[in-house]
Amino acid sequence: MRAKVGPQTQRRHKKVLALTKGQRGSKHRLFKRGNEAMMKSLEYSYRDRRVRKREFRRLWISRINAASRQNEMSYSNFMHGLKKAGVELDRRVLADIAVHDASTFSQLVETAKAAL
């Protein structure tokens, strides 16, 4: 008589269907379709954890560029000036300052201009 691992299979199926809760159609009801959806969604989440970092950096650079151009300076010159002046603020902090505190950002631009 062969062993049919019934309870283990049920637990595995239940775990996969729990992960696909919220999917449309048969993906959250049927094991085979759900398993395919789960594998694909795990691939996407792994990939997009890395992509998120790239996208945020692009957003910060865009914000810094816009703010520095309002102060008559290009992004590259601004960053080069800050580096020469010894200001060690990362792009996330600079973007936050650019959005929320324009006067401080203007002072940073003046510092960068003076260093060049």
Q: What is the pLDDT of residues 80-103, one digit of tens each?
A: 999 999 999 999 999 999 999 999
> Is this structure's pTM higher than 0.75?
yes
3-state secondary structure of 101: coil
Q: For the chain, what is the mean pLDDT?
A: 96
**Domain extents for the chain?**
9-115
Asked if 68 contacts 78 with a C-beta cutoff of 8 angstroms, the reply is yes
Here the tokens at position 111 are 């510092």
- Output the CATH code of domain 9-115: 1.10.1900.20
**H or E stretch including 33?**
helix 31-70
Encode pLDDT of 32-87 as tens digits: 999 999 999 999 999 999 999 999 999 999 999 999 999 999 999 999 999 999 99
Q: Check pLDDT > 80 for residue 1.
A: no
Between CA 78 and CA 67 the distance in angstroms is 10
Fill in the amino acid letter for 44: Y
Q: Among candidates 115, 51, 42, which has minimal Cα distance to 83?
A: 115
The band of 4, judged by pLDDT with boundaries at 50, 70 and 90, is: confident
Task: Give dist(CA 50, CA 55) in Å, integer.
Answer: 9
